[in-house]
Amino acid sequence: MQSRAASPEDSEAIARIYNEGIEERIATFETSPREAREIKAWFDGIHPIVVVEEEGMVISFANTTSYSPRACYSGVAEFSVYTASEARNRGAGILAMRALMEAAQEAGFWKLIARVFVENTPSRKLLSSLGFREVGIHEKHARLDGVWRDVVVVERLIPANL
């Protein structure tokens, strides 16, 4: 397995993995599948996206997005990490997040933040192992399939940019 910066050519593979996460209903409030053209819009030249490959196939990705349009939060990025079901529990998510943290540091971000479903134990363990701290829980943050879901807020400072 190896990580690298993603490119728009990876959009099809990223969409496949993300759509799997959407279908599983454990990692996102999104319910509509994404197409590669929608993923290509993520490549804004500001927010890092990385992939993990194994034998030439993308098996995991991690991406950042804008946290807020306010200038004072320009160094804070929201992030996501997803791994294809057939590649889970083999270190791909950790590799993707390590690469994303390095890319975020190089891009000048000082903090990464995410909201994780409270019952998503694998993601919470992964992020904790990488030094993310759980800040608190947003109760009834949004509905998924008509059911209110809670999320835990996680964050990690990037000391080199403080």
Pick the CATH number of 2-161 from 3.40.50.300, 3.40.630.30, 3.30.70.1350, 1.20.58.220: 3.40.630.30
Question: What per-residue confidence (pLDDT) applies to 122?
Answer: 95
CA–CA dist 24, 1 (Å, integer): 24
Question: What per-residue confidence (pLDDT) applies to 68?
Answer: 97
Question: What per-residue confidence (pLDDT) applies to 64?
Answer: 98
DSSP secondary structure of the chain: -EEEE--GGGHHHHHHHHHHHHHHTSS-S--SPP-HHHHHTT--SSS-EEEEEETTEEEEEEEEEES-SSGGGTTEEEEEEEE-GGGTTTTHHHHHHHHHHHHHHHTT--EEEEEEETT-HHHHHHHHHTT-EEEEEEEEEEEETTEEEEEEEEEEE-GGG-
User: Residue 67 is encoded by which pair of tokens?
Assistant: 């946290």
Question: What per-residue confidence (pLDDT) applies to 49?
Answer: 98
Instruction: Encode the chain (162 residues) as per-residue pLDDT tens digits.
Output: 999 999 999 999 999 999 999 999 999 999 999 999 999 999 999 999 999 999 999 999 999 999 999 999 999 999 999 999 999 999 999 999 999 999 999 999 999 999 999 999 999 999 999 999 999 999 999 999 999 999 999 999 999 999
Question: What per-residue confidence (pLDDT) applies to 33?
Answer: 97
Contact 132, 155 (CB under 8 A): yes
| Straight-line distance from the first to the last Cα atom of the chain, in angstroms, rounded to the nearest whole number | 31
* Domain spans of the chain, in order of start: 2-161
